Amino acid sequence: MIPAMPATAVSSRRASSRRASSHRASSHRGRGSSRPASAAVLRLGRFAAMGTVAVLILIAGVWGSWGTAQHVMLTKGREQGTIEVARCGAEMCWGPYAPLSAGSTVRARVVIEKSVAVRAGQTYTVVVKPDGDEVVRSGPAGVLYAWIPMGGALLLASVVVAGGLGRTRAGWVLAGSGVALLTAAFVTI
């Protein structure tokens, strides 16, 4: 016959077994809690990086558009008139300028950037850029044409917002705005 173990030995083994299992459980909880914290830091970093990229794309769109848009939108005090495009070169078109605003003078030759919106033999309303003989289209067509870089930036930023930030609805809003702007520019030109 096997002698029975004393009661104190059994209870001390059970107590040490409980302590060891509770120590293992607490060490697993400690490692598990660091994973959500590191995931949160990575999410925050991705959000900050993609948000910065989206904002920089939009700023670049405004910057690219404002060079021309300022002359077209802020016309007070600027010379306004028409250009009859006589000839076009590789990058520029030129022709005589007829004034429409007070204080504007007749010019034998002004230049306008060659684009799909400018054709030889056509007459366009224009605004003269300060200190020179360069003109830009005015009116609704000129405004929309000036903001085409912004339309492209909206489309590009929509991909970053939807994909990088996970904001699908905001991405669709940006994409829709960009498509609307580019479509309106295409229709008016």
Write the class of the CATH domain 76-137.
mainly beta
pLDDT above 70 (res 169):
yes
pLDDT digits (tens, 9 = 90+) for 5-27: 555 555 555 555 555 555 554 54
At 39, is the pLDDT very low, low, confident or very high (cuts 50, 70, 90)? confident
Nearest to 175 by CA among 149, 150, 148, 157: 157
pLDDT digits (tens, 9 = 90+) for 41-58: 988 999 999 999 999 999
pLDDT digits (tens, 9 = 90+) for 114-161: 887 788 899 999 999 988 889 999 989 899 999 999 999 999 999 999
Beta bridge mates, 81: 99, 126
Decide the pairing of beta strands 123-128 and 87-88.
Answer: unpaired
Q: How many Å from the N-terminal Cα to the C-terminal Cα in the chain?
A: 106
Instruction: State residue 19's pLDDT score.
Output: 57
Beta bridge mates, 27: none
Instruction: State residue 172's pLDDT score.
Output: 97
What pTM was computed for the model? 0.72
Instruction: State residue 36's pLDDT score.
Output: 84
Instruction: State residue 171's pLDDT score.
Output: 96
pLDDT above 70 (res 32):
no
Buried/exposed 131-153: b ≥16 CB within 10 Å, e otherwise: eeebbbbbbebbbbbbbbbbbbb
Report whether 93 contacts 84 (CB < 8 A).
Answer: no
Instruction: State residue 75's pLDDT score.
Output: 84
Residue 73 to residue 47: CA distance in whole angstroms = 35
Instruction: State residue 168's pLDDT score.
Output: 95
Q: What is the mean pLDDT of residues 165-187?
A: 95
Q: Could you tell me the CA-to-CA distances from 143 to 64, 102, 119, 126, 178 in Å, in that order?
A: 13, 22, 18, 11, 15
Residue 80 to residue 97: CA distance in whole angstroms = 9
